[in-house]
Amino acid sequence: MAKIKILIVEDESIIALNLKETLIDLGYEPCGVAPNKCKTMKILENGVVPDLILMDIYLKGPTTGIELAKELKISMPQIPVVFLTANSEIATIKKASETFAYGYILKPYKKSNLHAAIEIALSKAKEDNEKNLKLNAIENVNKTLIHQLELNNEQKSRTIQLKYGYLYDKEKEILYYGDEPVKLTTKELKIIKYLCESPGHNVSQEQLEYAIWQDEPAGYAAFRSVLFRLRNKVHKDLISNQNNTGYKIELF
């Protein structure tokens, strides 16, 4: 069974190291340590997808932990954040609560309290994510069906109905979520387009790299970065990894 991956965002190196060792003792997998927003985003853009983030409320630099958590709530809403803080003031906790954090741990922390806070956060986040996925899927499947009914026969022949409420228009080269176009970059759209040219079939990473960069593939790291950003804009299971041999887009 795969270990739970936890990203540590803490600017005090001694505390960060102690957290890392404690997480390992508790059976978790620390998947990165970042002292600020810049390093955090670099880790995430390199394809690391944590199951939970431990975030210091007061990070040094222009962006605080609370501000970073708010940004991540928009771009990666499925990942729970648990705050680390030496400040128990009501005003601070109230401000942090606006990020919909899944827990708070006071420094210095006890190992048992850390463990309990992480497990409660993971359980609650799993419940929330499953509920949101079901609601979004139902809502957008309905929108897609309505959209399909409104299309004439000629238009239907140029569209591909995908899972989770998505529809791809081959002629316009637009991905719809329900009846709304999904805002994608040129490179992200090239991945969708190429996968939709072989709907339901496995496509290798090399083929996708060629589709994006033509004769000058940029390499694994660059591809993972584009794919990471794309997956944060669509349903997490719309593009599946086929046993590390390639990728497939899921049909309705």
Tens digits of residue pLDDT in 16-52: 999 999 999 999 999 999 999 999 999 998 889 999 9
Output the pLDDT for position 92: 65
Output the pLDDT for position 192: 92
Can you point out the beta strands (E) in the chain? 5-9, 29-34, 52-56, 81-85, 103-106, 159-161, 166-169, 174-177, 180-181, 239-241, 247-249
Contact 123, 115 (CB under 8 A): no
Residue type at 37 in one-letter notation: K
Output the pLDDT for position 152: 55
Select from 76, 75, 250, 78 the least CA-distant residue to 167: 250
157-210, pLDDT tens digit by residue?
Answer: 678 888 888 989 988 899 998 888 999 999 999 999 999 988 878 888 888 888
Output the pLDDT for position 120: 94
Torsion angle defined by CA atoms of residues 201, 204, 209 and 214, in that order, rounded to the nearest 10 degrees: -70
170-204 b/e (C-beta count within 10 Å ≥ 16 → b): eeeebbbbbeeebebeebbbbbbbbbbeeeeeebe
pTM metric for this prediction: 0.59
User: What is the Cα–Cα distance from 218 to 227, expressed in whole angstroms?
Assistant: 13
Name all domains of the chain by residue range, CATH numbers in brackets.
Answer: 5-129 (3.40.50.2300), 151-249 (1.10.10.10)
Contact 191, 229 (CB under 8 A): no
Question: Could you tell me how far CA 69 lies from the centroid of its own chain?
Answer: 13
